Amino acid sequence: MKLHKLTRLPAVVLLGLLCLAAPEPSRAFVSNGRWTSTATQSSTGVTGAPATLTWSIVPDGTTIPGRNPSNLVAFFDGLYGAGDGGTDLQNRPWFDDLVKSSFDRWTELSGLTFKYEPNDDGAIHGNFFGLLDTRGDIRLGGTFLDGQGGTSAQAGFIPNSDITIDTGDSIFYGSTNSNSINLRNTLTHEIGHSFGLAHVDSNTSNFLLEPAYNDTFDGPQIDDIRGIHQLYGDVLERDTYGPKPNNSTATASSLGVLADGQTVALGYDAGFTTGVSPTESDFLSIANTSDIDYFTFTTVGAATVDVTITPTGPNYFERPTGVGNYAVTRSSQQSDLTLEVFRATDGGGTQLLGTANSAPLGQAESLLDLLLPAAGEYFVRVAGSTNAVQLYQLSLALEASSTAGDFDENDQVDGIDFLQWQLGFGPTYTSSHLSDWQENYGTLAGQPASQVVPEPTILCSLSLLLYTCLSSRRLSGFPQGFIGGGN
Residue type present at position 272: F
User: Looking at residue 455, what is its pLDDT?
Assistant: 52
The dotted CATH code for 4-232 is 3.40.390.10
244-400 shares the fold of 4-232: no
Is residue 459 predicted with pLDDT exceeding 80? no
What is the DSSP track for 180-204? Answer: HHHHHHHHHHHHHHHHTB--EE-SS
Q: Which residue has the higher pLDDT, 322 or 8?
A: 322
User: Looking at residue 432, what is its pLDDT?
Assistant: 80
Euclidean distance between CA atoms 281 and 273, whole angstroms: 15
| Strand ranges for 278-321 from DSSP E | 284-286, 292-299, 303-311, 315-320
Give the residue among 426, 416, 410, 429 at the shortest CA–CA distance from 371.
Answer: 429
Euclidean distance between CA atoms 406 and 429, whole angstroms: 12
Rg (CA), the chain: 30
Is residue 6 predicted with pLDDT exceeding 70? no
What is the DSSP track for 112-174? Answer: EEEEE------PPTTSS--BTTTB-SEEEEEE-SSSSSEEEEEE--TTS--EEEETT-HHHHH
CA 357 from chain centre, in angstroms, equals 20
Average per-residue pLDDT in the chain?
87
What is the DSSP track for 364-411? Answer: -EEEEEEEE-SSEEEEEEEE-SSSS-EEEEEEEEEEE-SSTT-TT-SS
Please, are residues 307 and 366 in contact by the beta-carbon 8 Å criterion? yes
What is the DSSP track for 252-280? Answer: PEEEEEPPTT-EEEESTT--S-S---TT-
Convert 448-463 to b/e letters by CB count within 10 Å (16 or more is b): ebeeeebeeeebeeeb
The dihedral over CA atoms of 143, 225, 43, 39, expressed in degrees to the nearest 10, equals: 30
Euclidean distance between CA atoms 478 and 19, whole angstroms: 77
Is residue 462 predicted with pLDDT exceeding 60? no
Is residue 487 predicted with pLDDT exceeding 60? no
- CA 45-362-236 angle, to 5 degrees, is 35
User: Looking at residue 402, what is its pLDDT?
Assistant: 65
Is residue 458 predicted with pLDDT exceeding 70? no
CATH topology of domain 244-400: Jelly Rolls (2.60.120)
Domain ranges across the chain: 4-232, 244-400, 415-474
Euclidean distance between CA atoms 441 and 437, whole angstroms: 6
Is there a cis peptide before residue 159, judged by omega within 30 degrees of 0?
A: yes
Residue type present at position 131: L
pLDDT tens-digit series, residues 93-104 = 999 999 999 999
pLDDT tens-digit series, residues 221-280 = 999 999 999 999 999 999 989 999 999 999 999 999 999 999 999 999 999 999 999 999
User: Looking at residue 183, what is its pLDDT?
Assistant: 98
User: Looking at residue 473, what is its pLDDT?
Assistant: 40
Euclidean distance between CA atoms 261 and 344, whole angstroms: 22
pLDDT tens-digit series, residues 19-59 = 333 334 446 799 999 999 999 999 999 999 999 999 999 99
pLDDT tens-digit series, residues 319-347 = 998 888 999 999 999 999 999 999 999 98
Residue 412's CB is within 10 A of a number of other CB atoms, namely: 19
Is residue 417 predicted with pLDDT exceeding 60? yes
Q: Which residue has the higher pLDDT, 410 or 275?
A: 275
Helices 415-424 + 431-440 axis angle, to 10: 180
Euclidean distance between CA atoms 349 and 416, whole angstroms: 30
User: Looking at residue 27, what is its pLDDT?
Assistant: 64
Tell how strand 163-166 and strand 138-143 pair up.
parallel
Is residue 75 predicted with pLDDT exceeding 50? yes
